Amino acid sequence: MFALGEPTNTPYDLRFNLFGCQVRVSALFWLVAALLGYNHARAVDYIYDSRGLDTPGAFVLLLVWLFAMFVSILVHELGHHFAFRFFGIDSHIVLYHFGGLAIPSGGRRSASTSPYARKLSAYRQIIISAAGPAAQILLAVVVAVIARLAGYHIGSMASWIDYFGLPAVGGESPNSAVLYALIDFLIYPSIYWAIFNLLPVIPLDGGRIAEEIICMFFRGTQRDAIILSMICAVLITLWAFQRGETFMGMFFLSFASQYKLLLNVSHLTFHV
Ligand SMILES: [Zn+2]
C-alpha cells in the first residue's frame, strides 16, 4: 500500500517553493486527510451545535482540519529539510496519501566504511530523522502556549496533559467552533503524528533511528533493524485491529507485508 519512493507527478499536484524548498502536494493527500478528519469535524460541529454555540457546520470544520493537517505535516517535513540542509544536503518535500516525504536531492548514504565516517553518518541520520517529529511537537507546543496565553482551552489534548499532571489545562473553550477546531486540530494530530512516527518501524522516523542505534551500538545490520521493524509492525497491527483502529491496522499491515521488499532496497534515503 505505501510506496517505497516518491509518488509520480500528476497535473492535480499543488506546487510551491517555501524557504528555498520545493514542495509538491498530491491530490490524494487531501482525500486521505479528509477521510481521517471527517469524524473529528463532525464531533466538533455536534458539540458546538448541541450547546447552542456558533458553528459553521462540519464541512467548514473539515476544511479547518485539512489546513491544520497540511501545516502540521509540512512543518514535520520542513524539520527534516532543515536538518538535511544543516548537513549540506538539499532536499524537496512531497505530501501524499500517507503523509509526507523529505527527499534528498541525488541522495545516497555515505559510501565510506571507515568507523569514524560511519559513526558521523549515524549521528547525522538520527538527527535528520528526529528533526521531523521534533518540529511537529514544537508546533503543537507553540500553538498550545499561544492558546493558553489568549485564555483558551487547548482542546482534546487537555485531558491527556491533565493526566500527566502538567500545568497546561484550564481556560475557556472559544465561542467559535472554527477557533476551537483550529487550536485542537493543530495540536492533537501533530502530537499523535509525531509519536506515531517515532515507533520503531522502518521507514518511519523511529525505525530509522532504531536502525542507526542497532548498527552503531549493537553492531547489527540493516537486516536486523528490518526484522525488528517487522516484529513491531505485526504487534502494532494486532493491537490496532483489537482496538478497532482499522486505518492504523491497515497502515502497519502494509508495512509488515512489504519488508521482503525493504530487504532488497539497500539505500532508503527519503524521510517520512
Ligand atoms: Zn519524519
Does residue 271 fall inside a structural domain?
Answer: no
A 10 A CB-CB count for 166 gives 10
Strand duo 14-18 + 21-25: pairing? antiparallel
Q: Is the pLDDT of residue 111 over 50?
A: no
pLDDT at 205: 92
Residue 155: left (phi > 0), alpha (psi -120 to 50), or beta?
Answer: left
Rounded to whole angstroms, how far apart are CA atoms 251 and 100? Answer: 14
Question: Ligand 1 center to residue 176 CA distance, Å?
Answer: 32
Give residue 210 CA to ligand 1 midpoint distance, Å. 14
Domain that holds residue 55: 14-198
Q: Is the domain of 190 the same as that of 207?
A: no
User: Tell me, what's the pLDDT at 3?
Assistant: 45
Are 155 and 249 contained in the same domain? Answer: no
The 3-state DSSP class for residue 90 equals coil
CA of 221 to the centre of ligand 1 (A): 22
Q: Using the 3D structure, point to which of 167, 198, 229 is the last residue of a domain.
A: 198
How many Å lie between the centroid of ligand 1 and the Cα of residue 99? 9
Span from the CA of 26 to the centroid of ligand 1 (angstroms) = 17
Q: What are the start-end ranges of the H helices in the chain?
A: 27-50, 58-86, 115-149, 158-163, 177-197, 205-217, 222-242, 246-257, 259-264
| Dist. CA 200 → ligand 1 center (Å) | 12
Domain-located, residue 9? no
The answer on 209 and 78 residing in a single domain is no
Q: Is the pLDDT of residue 166 over 80?
A: no
In the predicted structure, residue 223 carries a pLDDT above the cut 90: no
Distance CA 183, CA 156 (A): 10
Residues 109, 239, single domain; the answer is no
**Ligand 1 centroid from CA 57, angstroms:** 33
Cα of 175 from ligand 1 centre, angstroms: 35
Asked if 111 and 238 sit in the same domain, the reply is no
Total domain count, the chain: 2
State the DSSP code for 268. Answer: -
CA of 165 to the centre of ligand 1 (A): 28
Q: Is 107 exposed, middle or buried (0-12, 13-18, 19+ CB in 10 A)?
A: middle
Nearest to 69 by CA among 43, 103, 97: 97
Do 163 and 234 lie in one domain? The reply is no
pLDDT over 70 (residue 103) = yes
Whole-number Å distance, alpha carbon 39 to ligand 1 midpoint, is: 25
**Does residue 7 fall inside a structural domain?**
no
C-alpha 87 – ligand 1 centre gap (Å): 17
Are 114 and 207 part of one and the same domain? no
Q: Within this chain, do residues 94 and 143 fall inside the same structural domain, yes or no?
A: yes
| 85 within a domain of the structure (yes/no) | yes
Q: Does the residue 207 lie in any domain?
A: yes
Residues 130 and 254 in one domain: no
Residue whose entry in the numeric block shows the C-alpha cell 553518518: 121
Cα of 209 vs its chain's centroid, Å: 15
177 shares a domain with 228: no
Whether residue 203 is preceded by a cis peptide bond, meaning omega within 30 degrees of 0, is: yes
Domain membership of residue 188 (yes or no) is yes
Cα-flanking dihedrals φ and ψ of residue 152, to 5°? Answer: -95, 155
Task: Compute the distance between CA of residue 225 and CA of residue 121 in angstroms, rounded to an integer.
Answer: 17
The reply to whether 145 and 246 lie within a common domain is no
Q: Are residues 105 and 227 in the same domain?
A: no
Spatial distance between the Cα atoms of 219 and 224, rounded to a whole number of angstroms: 10
For 184-209, letters b (16+ CB in 10 Å) and e give bbbbbbbbebbebbbbbbbbbbbbbb
238 Cα distance to chain centroid: 21
Q: Which residue has the higher pLDDT, 116 or 130?
A: 130
CA of residue 96 to ligand 1 center, whole Å = 13
Examine residue 179 and state whether it is found in any structural domain, yes or no.
yes
**Centroid of ligand 1 to alpha carbon of 61 (angstroms):** 26
pTM of the predicted model, to two decimals?
A: 0.86
Tell me the per-residue pLDDT of 28-81, one tens digit each, with 9 for 90 and over: 899 999 998 999 999 999 999 999 888 999 999 999 999 999 999 999 999 999
Q: What average pLDDT does the chain have?
A: 84
**Lowest model confidence (mean pLDDT) among 56-60, 110-114, 255-259:** 110-114
Which residue among 198, 218, 249 closes a domain? Answer: 198
Q: How far is the CA of 102 from the centre of ligand 1 (A)?
A: 8
**At CA 175, angle to CA 170 and CA 178, rounded to 5?**
105
98 has pLDDT over 60: yes
C-alpha 113 to ligand 1 mean position (Å): 26
Q: How far is the CA of 71 from the centre of ligand 1 (A)?
A: 14
Of 198, 217, 235, the last residue of a domain is: 198
pLDDT of residue 271: 66
- 55: in domain: yes
Instruction: Please give the pLDDT value at position 2.
Output: 44
Going from the Cα of 121 to the center of ligand 1, the distance in angstroms, rounded, reads 18
Alpha-carbon distance 34 to 38, whole Å? 6
Which residue carries 457546520 as its cell?
57
pLDDT level of residue 160 (50, 70, 90 thresholds): low
> Which DSSP category does 155 fall into?
G
More confident residue, 217 or 13: 13
Average pLDDT of the segment spanning 116-145: 87
